[in-house]
Amino acid sequence: MMRLDISDVIETEKRAIKELDGVRSAMANAGKKAALYSRQNHVYRNRTYRAQRSTQSYTATEGDKVFTLVTIGMHYGSYLERRGIAQLDDGVEIMRNELGYYFAGIGSGL
């Protein structure tokens, strides 16, 4: 009879589950940073500050999937986004970088 010690595998699995449970909060934090960047660095003429104040991020889960949306909550927000003057693309790039660092940390931490 041969015995196998898999305690290291079980411990690694527990650490992986714990790290993956933090994905939602990591995505929410990255979304907040992206929205903050857009609010602070937009290049549109800010007459009413409504678009700036309504630039937010929303994070939701659906089953085992996590979604983060960064948007301008005004009816003309899509116009600002399409013109590229809302700086949402740069904010999303910040989000990608933040999540890249997070996932790289998960990989090296296991």
Quote the pLDDT of residue 110.
54
Residue at 108 is within a domain:
no
Residue at 17 is within a domain:
no
Contacts of 16 (CB under 8 A, 6+ apart): 106, 110
**DSSP of the chain:** ------HHHHHHHHHHHHHHHTHHHHHHHHHHHHHHHHHHH--S--SSSHHHHHEEEEEEEETTEEEEEEEE-STTHHHHHHHT-S-HHHHHHHHHHHHHHHHHHHHHH-
Indicate the pTM of the whole model.
Answer: 0.71
Domain that holds residue 30: 23-103
Is the separation of the CB atoms in 52 and 46 below 8 Å? yes
Residue at 96 is within a domain:
yes
Q: Domains in the chain: how many in total?
A: 1
Residue at 45 is within a domain:
yes
Q: What is the pLDDT along the chain (110 residues), one digit of tens a residue?
A: 667 677 787 887 787 777 777 888 888 889 899 888 888 888 888 888 888 888 888 888 888 788 888 888 888 888 888 888 888 888 888 888 888 888 887 766 65
Residue at 82 is within a domain:
yes
Residue at 61 is within a domain:
yes
Quote the pLDDT of residue 74.
87
Residue at 34 is within a domain:
yes
Residue at 11 is within a domain:
no
